């Protein structure tokens, strides 16, 4: 599951949720059924260190795609890409060049700041978000914690002129606040609230500094943002004069930083940093790379309905090599989304080997580039390898192997627009109720306005944009999310098997139904 950008209400404080449940040694499933042992075997191979984290645009992701291609070819699925089982996606890698420069001048003294270590510019803010400028120059203004409080009494914006200034704000809490207020003010999700107050004042740039306790988070985010992958564009780059947002940067509070008051943290008042000026010019290098969706079909049994599809999706990419944590730098992504990836393999094997197949065909798409901004699914729905209106529903599996044994989130029936997924949600509920061990389905995240914005954070979102009914299955975030510690030995394989069987059973019901599960307006 991808992170949302801080500007788009990045809310990762939920990462520290309940740890995964350690599973006992998996028992063999009845012959032909989806069982824990099969999933464990595949995931230990797919999320192994040898895969090096499967980062989009690298040979590691290509090796993961080959793993999937080999497996579904062995299973006998029909190829449904544009190059047999592969769908090629033109991408580009964007890196900051050595000519980029950020400096603070204070009288006759100049302090150079490093991209990645000191600050990370947010140049690409994601689909639908206006681009930020790559050039900034202006006097430094410190806006404190960017907040207004009654206790202790403070208003960090009172009397400040922010227009054409470089505004520095700490994403933290002042001394004297209660624990609940502190937790809220230090949350990554409050970045957007601070920016919402600053941006209308037309600053030249905004620098948001995390507190020291968020250093590991910043290091991880910096590593990811320094290796941006986007879709190739044949259009000219947007000049700064046409970029509506000021330069936006993230950093970490550091003792003696030229971006803070001299006596910080004793002096945390909002103030003009007299005599200091910030200037930056950011350059990026763009290198073409290839990405691949992996696409296969289990052909349906009905001569007419087999020309329509129930689509199943998971993303096989992850973060690659990241900042080391306890000497481990490989982000294996066992749960995110190795769990969904191997679940789809098991479902494909189960349906392909069934004596009687569903009447509709089942389209399996393992998407690439989810962690880079849902790139693979966006490409697929814009360049579908089957008619887009032949897809009657899309079921997405992302992070389905952790947390409490009975817990399952389903997102989409309420969050998708125009009620287009409402009927599909009722089908999921009905199938779940008939399972031997039904899940306690949590609908907390099934809202387009929930602070975590889960509805927008995985590949189902792009299918929903096309009016396709969707259901997103996930067992939730946890403390190992987007860390090297997301390892295969932490997965609850019995639970993973149950989720896979539920998705399989919903697929069969949809595949055998003569009617579609819903259209826009239903």
Instruction: Give strand pairing partners of 104.
Output: 111, 278
pLDDT score, position 130: 80
520 assigned to some structural domain? no
pLDDT score, position 8: 43
Per-residue pLDDT for the chain (522 aa), expressed as one digit of tens each? 887 654 443 322 323 333 333 444 444 555 579 999 999 999 999 999 999 999 999 999 999 999 999 999 999 999 999 999 999 999 999 889 999 999 999 988 999 999 989 999 988 776 667 889 999 999 999 999 999 998 889 999 999 999 999 999 999 999 999 999 999 999 887 898 899 999 999 999 999 999 988 888 888 788 777 788 988 875 557 888 888 899 999 999 998 999 999 999 999 999 999 999 999 999 988 899 999 999 999 999 999 999 999 999 999 999 999 888 899 999 999 999 999 999 999 999 999 999 999 999 999 999 999 999 999 999 999 999 999 999 999 999 999 999 999 999 999 999 999 999 999 999 999 999 999 999 999 999 999 988 888 999 999 999 999 999 999 999 999 999 999 999 999 999 999 999 999 999 999 999 999 999 975 434
168 assigned to some structural domain? yes
Same structural domain for residues 321 and 410?
yes
Look up the domain containing 269 and give its range: 100-282
Same structural domain for residues 257 and 329?
no
Cis? peptide before 337, omega within 30° of 0 = yes
Question: Residue 430: in which H helix or E strand, if any?
Answer: helix 422-433
Same structural domain for residues 138 and 172?
yes
CB under 8 Å to 307, separation ≥6 — which residues? 361, 390
pLDDT score, position 221: 81
Instruction: Give strand pairing partners of 141.
Output: 167, 272
Same structural domain for residues 385 and 261?
no
pLDDT score, position 342: 98
Measured between alpha carbons, how far is residue 203 from residues 197, 268, 269, 369, 505 in Å?
11, 21, 19, 33, 54
pLDDT score, position 234: 52
Same structural domain for residues 186 and 298?
no
Same structural domain for residues 372 and 302?
yes
Same structural domain for residues 457 and 325?
yes
**Domain CATH code at residue 56:** 3.40.630.10
What's the CA gap between 192 and 162, in Å, rounded? 17
pLDDT score, position 5: 52
What's the CA gap between 368 and 381, in Å, rounded? 13
Distance, C-alpha 39 to centroid of its chain: 23
15 assigned to some structural domain? no
pLDDT score, position 107: 87
Same structural domain for residues 39 and 130?
no
Same structural domain for residues 356 and 269?
no
**Domain CATH code at residue 199:** 3.50.30.30
Tokens of 169: 């704000």
Same structural domain for residues 85 and 141?
no
Same structural domain for residues 258 and 361?
no
**Cβ contact 291:144 at 8 Å:** no
Looking at 223, 250, 282, the residue that finishes a domain is 282
pLDDT score, position 3: 74
158 assigned to some structural domain? yes
8 assigned to some structural domain? no
pLDDT score, position 153: 92
CB under 8 Å to 396, separation ≥6 — which residues? 312, 313, 314, 340, 458, 459, 460, 463, 470, 471, 472, 473
367 assigned to some structural domain? yes
60 assigned to some structural domain? yes
Looking at 264, 282, 300, the residue that finishes a domain is 282
Looking at 241, 261, 282, the residue that finishes a domain is 282
Same structural domain for residues 83 and 120?
no
The total of structural domains in the chain comes to 2
108 assigned to some structural domain? yes
Query: pTM for the complete prediction?
Result: 0.86
């Amino acid at each position: 599951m991808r992170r949302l950008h801080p500007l788009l209400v990045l809310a990762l404080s939920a990462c520290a949720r309940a740890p995964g449940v350690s599973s006992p040694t998996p028992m063999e499933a009845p012959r032909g059924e989806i069982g824990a042992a099969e999933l464990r075997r595949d995931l230990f191979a797919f999320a192994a260190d040898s895969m090096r984290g499967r980062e989009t645009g690298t040979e590691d992701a290509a090796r993961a795609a080959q793993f999937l291609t080999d497996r579904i070819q062995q299973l006998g699925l029909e190829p449904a890409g544009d190059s047999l089982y592969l769908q090629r996606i033109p991408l580009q890698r964007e890196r900051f060049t050595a000519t980029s420069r950020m400096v603070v001048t204070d009288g006759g003294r100049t302090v150079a700041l490093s991209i990645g270590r000191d600050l990370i510019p947010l140049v690409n803010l994601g689909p639908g978000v206006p681009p930020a400028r790559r050039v900034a120059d202006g006097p430094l203004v410190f806006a404190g914690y960017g907040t207004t409080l009654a206790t202790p009494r403070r208003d960090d914006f009172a009397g400040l002129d922010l227009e054409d200034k470089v505004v520095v704000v700490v994403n933290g809490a002042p001394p004297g606040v209660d624990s609940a207020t502190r937790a809220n003010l230090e949350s990554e999700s409050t970045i957007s609230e601070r920016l919402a107050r600053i941006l209308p004042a037309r600053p030249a740039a905004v620098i948001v500094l995390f507190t020291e306790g968020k250093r590991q988070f910043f290091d991880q985010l910096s590593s990811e943002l320094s290796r941006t992958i986007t879709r190739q564009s044949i259009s000219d780059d947007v000049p700064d004069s046409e970029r509506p947002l000021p330069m936006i940067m993230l950093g970490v509070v550091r003792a003696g930083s030229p971006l803070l008051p001299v006596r910080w943290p004793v002096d945390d008042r909002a103030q003009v940093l007299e005599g200091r000026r910030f200037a930056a010019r950011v350059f990026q290098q763009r290198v073409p790379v290839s990405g691949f969706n992996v696409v296969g079909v289990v052909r349906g049994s009905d001569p007419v309905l087999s020309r329509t599809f129930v689509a199943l999706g998971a993303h096989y990419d992850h973060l690659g090599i990241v900042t080391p944590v306890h000497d481990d730098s490989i982000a294996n992504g066992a749960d995110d989304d190795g769990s969904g990836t191997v679940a789809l393999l098991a479902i494909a094997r189960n349906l392909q080997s069934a004596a009687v197949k569903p009447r509709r065909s089942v389209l399996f798409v393992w998407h690439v580039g989810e962690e880079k901004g849902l790139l693979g699914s966006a490409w697929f729905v814009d360049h579908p390898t089957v008619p887009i209106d032949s897809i009657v529903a899309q079921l997405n599996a992302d992070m389905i192997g952790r947390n409490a044994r009975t817990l399952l989130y389903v997102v989409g029936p309420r969050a998708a627009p125009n009620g287009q997924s409402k009927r599909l949600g009722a089908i999921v509920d009905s199938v779940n109720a008939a399972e031997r061990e039904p899940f306690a389905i949590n609908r907390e995240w099934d809202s387009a306005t929930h602070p975590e914005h889960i509805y927008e954070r995985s590949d189902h979102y792009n299918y929903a944009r096309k009016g396709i009914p969707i259901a997103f299955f996930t067992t939730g975030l946890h403390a190992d999310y987007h860390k090297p510690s997301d390892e295969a030995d932490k997965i609850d394989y019995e639970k993973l098997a149950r989720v896979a069987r539920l998705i399989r059973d919903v697929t069969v019901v949809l595949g055998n139904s003569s009617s579609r599960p819903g259209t826009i307006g239903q």
